[in-house]
């Protein structure tokens, strides 16, 4: 047997033991990828305090070591630049299509976000001046909880029955949406999905990539959104129009899906867009998007100062932080509504 083959087999055996991939800054100040050790009684990887260090590349050959590190700050489970394409699916739950007054699609509706949108599971969602309220155009930020799929193996022209073999695992995600830019500003027939959904930090995800050995059936997971603690969306992936396997196979008909690529699989009903009197998110609102057996992302809508944004330098600890974050940002950014004056 050749050495390479032996190593790959070893890799397969070791990867079979992997559970929940997290990327984090440890208390020693270093960045690691690890296999989360969950506290007893929870499956929310956002509560991870410790992880076994993984060496190598979780998209290729890797090894889970016995070295345990203490987690200080959770990062997005993959470094953003490892993801070459962020695919998103529109109207994949019938009740959401109905609340948005669109026809139920007969094939998956695909759009993209740039990978600069990818963000850690816990932290601010920066709303820059261009997306804040402007005279006769009101900011209309909305939430969308989604199951996120991470591609593990290159896929081209594959069939549905082998599609899940190309998936590394699943995460929870928030497809941040500005309905004004997405819909009103473009209007039919000029929707601006990229402007309305693709800004920096508008794709929080994590808190872990939960492997397909734990989630063998992605079509049986509860997913929800809470805004400032109030439940707004709560549904199950069983209600997807197009299954994960169906979407992966469909997209692969002419586009190569690469390891590290991410698919946001659509949101269920309950978004503000579908309401008669929408209460759009505003500065300081805390949005929790969660998926069963994976965990939660906690994102704080943050009107950025009108001068250069420092949001990405501000990483927050993993501890119960939602409302604390809100307070801190409210203090830190209290002057953000003051109009900008450039000399």
- Site residues (vs ligand NAG, CB under 6 A): 100-101, 133, 135-138, 157, 159, 185, 222, 224, 231, 234, 273-274, 282
Count of positions (residues) in the chain: 343
Q: Are 183 and 204 in contact (CB under 8 A)?
A: no
Q: Return the number of the residue (66 or 188) whose C-beta is nearest ligand NAG.
A: 188
CA 64 to chain CA mean position, Å: 24
Q: Return the number of the residue (35 or 44) whose C-beta is nearest ligand NAG.
A: 44
CA distances (Å), 36 to each of 68, 218, 259, 294, in order? 10, 20, 21, 11
- Minimum Å distance from CB 137 to ligand NAG? 4
Q: Return the number of the residue (34 or 121) whose C-beta is nearest ligand NAG.
A: 121
Q: Return the number of the residue (182 or 212) whose C-beta is nearest ligand NAG.
A: 182
- Minimum Å distance from CB 183 to ligand NAG? 8
- Minimum Å distance from CB 295 to ligand NAG? 12
Calpha distance 35→17 (Å, rounded): 9
Check residue 121 and report its DSSP letter: S
Q: Return the number of the residue (78 or 273) whose C-beta is nearest ligand NAG.
A: 273
Q: Return the number of the residue (170 or 224) whose C-beta is nearest ligand NAG.
A: 224
Q: Return the number of the residue (17 or 282) whose C-beta is nearest ligand NAG.
A: 282
Q: Return the number of the residue (15 or 225) whose C-beta is nearest ligand NAG.
A: 225
Query: Helices marked H in the chain — which ranges?
Result: 3-15, 94-99, 160-163, 179, 193-197, 244-251, 322-332
Q: Is omega for the bond preceding 86 within 30 degrees of 0, making it cis?
A: no
- Minimum Å distance from CB 127 to ligand NAG? 11
Task: Write the DSSP string, 158-182.
Answer: --HHHHGGGEEEEEEEE--EEHIII
Give every CB contact of residue 307 below 8 A, 6+ residues apart in sequence.
340
Identify which of 30, 33, 34 has the alpha carbon closest to the alpha carbon of residue 72.
Answer: 30
- Minimum Å distance from CB 112 to ligand NAG? 22
- Minimum Å distance from CB 342 to ligand NAG? 21
**% helix / strand / coil in the chain, to the nearest 5?**
20, 35, 45
- Minimum Å distance from CB 273 to ligand NAG? 5
Q: Are 295 and 228 in contact (CB under 8 A)?
A: no
- Minimum Å distance from CB 30 to ligand NAG? 34
Task: Write the DSSP string, 15-44.
Answer: HTT--EEEEEEETTS-EEEEEEEPPTT---
């Amino acid at each position: 047997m050749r050495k390479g083959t032996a190593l790959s087999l070893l890799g397969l055996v070791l990867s079979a033991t992997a559970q929940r991939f997290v990327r984090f800054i440890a208390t020693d100040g270093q960045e690691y990828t690890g296999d989360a050790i969950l506290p007893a009684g929870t499956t929310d990887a956002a509560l991870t305090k410790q992880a076994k260090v993984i060496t190598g590349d979780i998209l290729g050959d890797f090894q889970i070591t016995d070295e345990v590190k203490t987690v200080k700050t959770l990062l997005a489970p993959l470094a953003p630049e490892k993801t070459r394409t962020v695919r998103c699916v529109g109207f994949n739950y019938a009740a959401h299509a109905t609340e948005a007054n669109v026809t139920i699609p007969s094939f998956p509706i695909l759009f993209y976000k740039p990978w600069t949108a990818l963000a850690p599971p816990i932290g601010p969602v920066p709303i820059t001046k261009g997306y804040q309220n402007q005279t006769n155009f009101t900011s209309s930020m909305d939430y969308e909880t989604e199951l996120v799929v991470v591609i593990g193996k290159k896929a081209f022209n594959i069939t549905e029955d082998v599609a899940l073999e190309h998936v590394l695992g699943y995460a929870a995600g928030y497809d941040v949406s500005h309905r004004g830019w997405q819909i009103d500003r473009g209007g039919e027939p000029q929707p601006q999905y990229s402007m309305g959904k693709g800004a920096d930090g508008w794709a929080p995800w994590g808190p872990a990539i939960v492997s397909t050995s734990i989630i063998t059936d992605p079509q049986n997971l509860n997913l929800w959104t809470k805004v400032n603690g109030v439940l707004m969306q709560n549904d199950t992936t069983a209600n997807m129009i197009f299954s994960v396997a169906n979407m992966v196979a469909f997209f692969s008909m002419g586009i190569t899906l690469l390891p590290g690529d991410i698919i946001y699989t659509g949101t269920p009903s309950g978004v503000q867009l579908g309401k008669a009197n929408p209460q759009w998110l505003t500065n300081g609102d805390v949005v929790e998007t969660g998926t069963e057996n994976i965990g939660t992302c906690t994102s704080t809508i943050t009107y950025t100062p009108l001068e250069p944004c420092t949001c990405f330098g501000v990483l927050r600890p993993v501890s119960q932080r939602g409302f604390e974050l809100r307070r801190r940002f409210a203090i830190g950014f209290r002057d953000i509504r003051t109009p900008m004056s450039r000399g």
